[in-house]
Amino acid sequence: FNEKQLSRDGTVACSTCHDPKRNFTDDKPLAEGVFGRIGARRVPAILNRAYGTAFFWDGRIPTLEEQVLQPIINDKEMDMTLEEAVARLREDEDYAAEFDSVFGHAITEQDLSHALASYVRTILAGNSRYDRYLNGEGDALTELERRGLEIFRGKGNCTDCHLGPNLTDEKFRNTGIAWKDGELADLGRFRFTKRENDRGSFKTPTLRNAAGRAPYMHDGSLATLSEVADYYDRGGNRNPWLDRELLPLRLTDAEKEALVAFLHTLTGPVREGIKKP
């Protein structure tokens, strides 16, 4: 995960974009890979992906084992072939020995996939003040934050998409973000499914640790949680494929302030990795 030699120019590791110090994402609007190449979408936070059911913003990959290999072979990310990546690992005596001790043979593409996916499954966020409040710690939230929770569950309609322990339904929606100058700047899930209703649709992200994951949306176009609240309050950018749940909310400034305050309570410690016994 931290190995830059898996990239063409030796400058990009998984952790370059999925920075542990930044909730396993980065602070750039769009992903930046080898040779300064810029991708089309924001780096998604990989918190709690052990509970994921589809991967990437458009959900085109069904398993984590498949997903972890895609950045290696993407020409705007790490720009390697899997054969080249495995060869570089085999040339390193330490990696060769470690993989042999676990898998009992020389490193293969499947071994690399299993190793990376196994690590990503350990990246877990939780135990936020919101969780403690749900567990009966009544003073874990302030009065303002509790008001924000009421709006989150009620007038804000946030739980239509952000629900459950991981605060996402793992589904795909057109929220209008991709609608620019009268057309879709990114077709989203439609590129994969070719279903008309998927035009401009992207996966609902978890809200875990959202306060520390700016900028927001699949294209990094909203800089703050306040901008996100304003955007949804307007009902998104109207377009022919906009999700029917997206309607103007007519929140007051005080209500938006409370909602944003609540979103900050979703931040908790992130643990990752497994220590040797």
Q: Are 265 and 141 in contact (CB under 8 A)?
A: yes
Going by pLDDT thresholds of 50, 70 and 90, the confidence category of residue 275 is low
Percent of the residues in the chain that have a pLDDT greater than 70, as a whole number = 99
Extents of the domains making up the chain: 4-124, 129-264
Percent of the residues in the chain that have a pLDDT greater than 90, as a whole number = 98
- Assign domain 4-124 one CATH number from 3.30.1280.10, 1.10.760.10, 3.40.50.2300, 1.10.10.10: 1.10.760.10
Beta bridge partners of 32: 38
Write out pLDDT tens, residues 81-101. Answer: 999 999 999 999 999 999 999
Average confidence (pLDDT) over 32-44:
98
Q: Can you name the CATH fold of 129-264?
A: Cytochrome Bc1 Complex; Chain D, domain 2 (1.10.760)
Predicted local distance difference test score (pLDDT) of residue 151 = 99
Write out pLDDT tens, residues 133-155. Answer: 999 999 999 999 999 999 999 99
Mean pLDDT of the chain, nearest integer: 97
Would you tell me the crossing angle of helices 82-91 and 93-103 to the nearest 10 degrees? 100
Q: State pTM to two decimals.
A: 0.94
Q: What are the angstrom distances between the C-alpha of 32 and each of 11, 74, 82, 159, 240?
A: 11, 12, 20, 32, 31
Amino acid at 136: G
Going by pLDDT thresholds of 50, 70 and 90, the confidence category of residue 273 is confident
One fold for 4-124 and 129-264: yes
Predicted local distance difference test score (pLDDT) of residue 164 = 95
Predicted local distance difference test score (pLDDT) of residue 276 = 57
